[in-house]
Amino acid sequence: MCRTSSLGSREKTDQGRGAKNAMFLSRQQKFIIITLIIYWPALFIFAHIPIPELVRQADVSDKYVHFLAYLILTFLLWVAAFPDKKVNWRKPAAWWIILVVVLYGVFDEVLQSFVAGRSCDIRDFIVDLAGTLTGLILLSFFSFQPALVIITGITIFGLTNVTRANIADLLPLTNTAFNLCAYAIFTLGWIHYLYSCLKLMAPTPGWLIKALTLPAGFLLSVKLVSLFLGRSVTVTDVIVSAVGIAAAVGTTIVIALFRRLSRQKLA
């Protein structure tokens, strides 16, 4: 009787965990789908208007922007469709994603030939394809959480160091918002990875050290590379980025403590 009841309770616990995981994945998938619904039309609109003067002044690498845009698009498409799966090249899903992105890339380049200041460029299409393949290759090795951290890191590093002009001078508010949000997202992706893959939960001292080490080290690395490339690094940018990291960690700790108190009250 004891063994039977014990097995029954274990099965219920496993079912409860499974239901929670399914619910979590469902929320995650909804968030990604909403992001995709916003991102893809925004990408289309931006690609089919004359190049803004501020973008010209920033002297952004056109090829890097194409690579990054399609890397993010591919990531969102895959995770929206298969939130809990890695890319398996033996199955048709990855090839369907490539087909969709290739068709969109061709359509995009053809339409750009009708926009003032833009042109249909086969080199842009090749870079688009490179971004797509890079995204799928990353997703064939990494699940959602580490892939999010890597892609966010690529975005931060590139947009910080790929422009010849100082973005902080041209777009101070946008630059501040980017540093705050980008480092917060990077940190949240890392925290998500600590919880989902390494089973480390807030707010233990060990968790706090691990939660801060990678984001802080990445911030330091990006700024050191900026200095090496001869770009200006302002104290304000560093502080804002650090605030984004601290906000993500602090919010996670507050939520974890609130959940712990709620469980204690229910118990």
Q: Which residues contact 179 (CB under 8 A, 6 or more apart)?
A: 237, 240, 241, 244
**120 lies in the same domain as 173:** no
**pLDDT per residue as tens digits for the range 208-239:** 999 999 999 999 999 999 888 877 788 888 99
Q: What is the count of structural domains for the chain?
A: 2
pLDDT at 265 over 50: yes
Pair 102, 193 in one domain: no
79 and 133 inside one domain: yes
Q: Does the pLDDT value for residue 19 go beyond 60?
A: no
11 found inside a domain: no
Q: Would you say 139 and 147 are in contact if contact means Cβ atoms under 8 Å apart?
A: yes
Q: Which of 117, 141, 165 is the last residue of a domain?
A: 141
Q: Are residues 35 and 104 in the same domain?
A: yes
pLDDT digits (tens, 9 = 90+) for 115-172: 777 778 888 889 999 999 999 999 999 988 889 999 999 989 888 877 655 554 545 5
Which three-class secondary structure state does DSSP give residue 232? coil
Pairwise pLDDT comparison (23 vs 46), residue with the higher score? 46
Q: What is the mean pLDDT of residues 187-198?
A: 86
pLDDT at 75 over 90: yes
Return the pLDDT at 59.
60
Distances (CA, A) of 15 to 3, 22, 152, 260: 18, 10, 34, 22
